[in-house]
Structure formats: C-alpha cells, structure tokens
C-alpha cells in the first residue's frame, strides 16, 4: 500500500527500550549466547549499528547507552565505571534473563566490561575488549576526568549533526561510510553537563585486575603509533597471568579498532560467539 511504513526487521533494525533509567537498543533473537555491547565515551549504543545485525543471527544483541549518553540520563554525580557496570548488570538481568552474555566493550566500555566481569561474574560468558582505556591520562582537570575529553564534549555541544557529518570524513578518512552518521549523531546526544561532573576512571588498575576475570578474554589491539591506547608492554603484562584464557588480536588500526579494521574485529567476535555457543 503506498505510503505504508515498512515493517521493522528485528535483525536489521534496532528496537529501543529502557530498564529503569538505562536505555538500550536490541537486535535479533534466538538461542545463541546473547551479546552486550558497551560503547566508548561520547559514543552511544547505536554506534554499534554497523556490526550488531551481523552478530544478531540466532541470538539477542543489546547495546547499552551509558549514563549521560544517548537516551540514558546522566544521573547523580560522580560518573564512575562502577555505576556504569551496575547499570549493565541490571539490563542483563531484566532483558537477558541473567545471561551469561558475551560482553564487548570499546575504550570506556572495555573498563565497564572488566568491572562487570569482576563484580558480577555469573552474568558474563566471555569478554571482548576493543582497545580498553587502560592508559591513565596525564591531563586531568578538576572533574577528575581527561581535560581534552571534557573540552571535546563542550565543543560538540555547540555543533549540529550536520556539522559533525561534514567533519567526520575529514577527521576519520579511513572509516567506512556506515560509521559516520551514527558517530556524528552520538556526539549530539552526550549530556554536556558530563564535562563538569566529577568523574572516577581509575578506581582500579585495569590491566592488573584483568587476572581476576575468570572467563575467556579477547583483547583487540591497535597500534599506538596510529592512536591506540593499549601498548605491547601492557599486552605482555596481562598475557602471563591470564594464560590460555587470553586471545590477543592485533590490527593495523588506531583507537577505533572496529572502525578501522572491521573485518578483523568481526571475525574475532564471531569466533568468540561460536566458542561460547559450543560450551553453553
């Protein structure tokens, strides 16, 4: 019928919802081990859109909006990794029957994934950490957060999606086109008050505590020369205590490994999902 809206495809098109104050976006269904996707700071859950439908074949995939990002309110200060992990735990219990889930986290989301696996191990089947924010930023402002990050939040608050879409291919020329619109939109959905909110990023020594995680861990590593955070000494430091629980995947990429080496990341996550399904 002319003018009729197309029926949403639950595999390709996300359905959005909320658990308490926490917003999330979901794709797919089925018996496979579910997946939880945790974005980096100033992104949001919809930034996983280029990958989530492919991982949602035969399983549920849920991308969570962190506090102050997307549709999740900032809430009371301080902004902490512990609070973000508690939010994710609530979503897994309410929406995924308590899991366990494969948890994939980028940058800040990698820290949240670690905290979740340590604090709530029964909820996690495996971790995939995409260049987690392991390196302490020397330029910390009065909030306790990275000064450059807070300045970027303030600057983006004055930009429109159209402004950011023009800047995206200039700043990120190596990214696939499909990544640009979700990235641009996410920047306008960050609560600008985050830039002035007390923040706690280093409650744990994140590389050191990885050995407390008892499930398989896949570490997606870029190249520090290209802007990646995790370096080879950190990889070597976590390799010994984790032993065969750790898989390290290197890519010719910067901090946004999946956006710069999508095929490498897609293959790595699919491997983790196949192994998790096999032992379920």
Q: Are 191 and 229 in contact (CB under 8 A)?
A: no
Q: Which backbone phi and psi does 126 adopt, to 5 degrees?
A: -165, 155
Residue 189 counted as domain residue: no
Helix segments in the chain, DSSP class H: 52-55, 81-95, 108-119, 147-157, 161-171, 177-187, 206-209, 232-242, 257-260, 262-278
pLDDT at position 139:
83
Place of tokens 């658990």: 19
Tokens, residue 98: 């308590």
pLDDT, one tens digit per residue, over 44-91 is 999 999 999 999 999 999 999 999 999 999 999 999 999 999 999 999
pLDDT at 12 over 80: no
Q: Are 124 and 215 in contact (CB under 8 A)?
A: yes
Q: How far apart, in whole angstroms, are the C-alpha atoms of residue 174 and residue 129?
A: 21
Closest by Cα among 24, 47, 21, 7 to 176: 47
- Largest Cα separation within the chain, whole Å, is 62
* Confidence tier at 141 by pLDDT (50, 70, 90): confident
Q: Are 237 and 263 in contact (CB under 8 A)?
A: no
* Confidence tier at 140 by pLDDT (50, 70, 90): confident
Residue 50 counted as domain residue: yes
pLDDT, one tens digit per residue, over 213-248 is 999 999 999 999 999 999 999 999 999 999 999 999
Residue 172 counted as domain residue: no
Residue 79 counted as domain residue: yes
pLDDT, one tens digit per residue, over 90-139 is 999 999 999 999 999 999 999 999 999 999 999 999 999 999 999 877 78
Range of the domain at 265: 15-136+204-278
CA 46-52-53 angle, 5° bins: 115
Residue 187 counted as domain residue: no
The whole-angstrom distance between residue 33's C-alpha and the CA centroid of its chain comes to 18
| 15-19 and 22-27 beta bridge pairing | antiparallel
- Would you report the helix, strand and coil content of the chain in percent, each value rounded to 5? 45, 15, 40
| 246-250 and 217-221 beta bridge pairing | parallel
Q: Which backbone phi and psi does 236 adopt, to 5 degrees?
A: -65, -35
The whole-angstrom distance between residue 85's C-alpha and the CA centroid of its chain comes to 12
CATH number for the domain including 83?
A: 3.40.50.1820
**The pTM is what?**
0.94
Residue 111 counted as domain residue: yes
Q: Are 183 and 206 in contact (CB under 8 A)?
A: no
Residue 164 counted as domain residue: no
pLDDT at position 73:
98
Tokens, residue 248: 């390290």
Number of domains making up the chain: 1
pLDDT, one tens digit per residue, over 159-188 is 999 999 999 999 999 999 999 999 999 999
Looking from the CA of 215 toward its CB, the CA atoms found within 13 Å total 28
pLDDT at position 3:
41
**How far lies 45's CA from each of 40, 42, 162, 179, in Å?**
9, 10, 20, 13
pLDDT at position 258:
98
Q: Are 225 and 254 in contact (CB under 8 A)?
A: no
Neighbours of 171 (CB within 10 A): 10
Residue 178 counted as domain residue: no
pLDDT at position 218:
98
């Amino acid at each position: 019928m002319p003018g009729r809206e197309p029926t949403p495809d639950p595999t390709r098109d996300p359905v959005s919802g909320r658990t308490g104050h926490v917003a999330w976006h979901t794709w797919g269904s089925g018996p496979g081990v579910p997946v939880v996707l945790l974005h980096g700071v100033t992104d949001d859950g919809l930034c996983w859109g280029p990958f989530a439908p492919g991982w949602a074949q035969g399983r549920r995939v849920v991308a969570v909006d962190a506090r102050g990002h997307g549709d999740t309110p900032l809430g009371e200060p301080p902004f902490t990794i512990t609070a973000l992990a508690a939010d994710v735990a609530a979503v897994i219990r309410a929406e995924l029957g308590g899991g366990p889930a494969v948890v994939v986290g980028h940058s800040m989301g990698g820290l949240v994934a670690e905290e979740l696996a340590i604090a709530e191990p029964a909820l996690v089947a495996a971790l995939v950490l995409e260049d987690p924010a392991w390196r302490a930023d020397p330029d910390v402002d009065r909030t306790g957060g990275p000064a450059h990050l807070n300045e970027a939040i303030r600057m983006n608050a004055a930009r429109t999606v159209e402004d950011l879409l023009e800047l995206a291919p200039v700043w990120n020329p190596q990214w696939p086109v499909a990544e640009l619109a979700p990235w641009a939109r996410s920047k306008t959905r960050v609560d600008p008050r985050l830039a002035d909110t007390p923040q706690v990023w280093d409650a744990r020594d994140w590389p050191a505590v990885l050995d407390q995680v008892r499930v398989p861990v896949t570490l997606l590593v870029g190249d520090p020369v290209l802007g990646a955070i995790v370096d080879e000494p950190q990889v070597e430091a976590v390799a010994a205590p984790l032993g065969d629980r750790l898989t390290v995947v290197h890519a010719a990429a910067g901090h946004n490994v999946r956006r710069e080496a999508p095929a490498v990341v897609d293959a790595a996550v699919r491997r983790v999902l196949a192994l998790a399904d096999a032992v379920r």
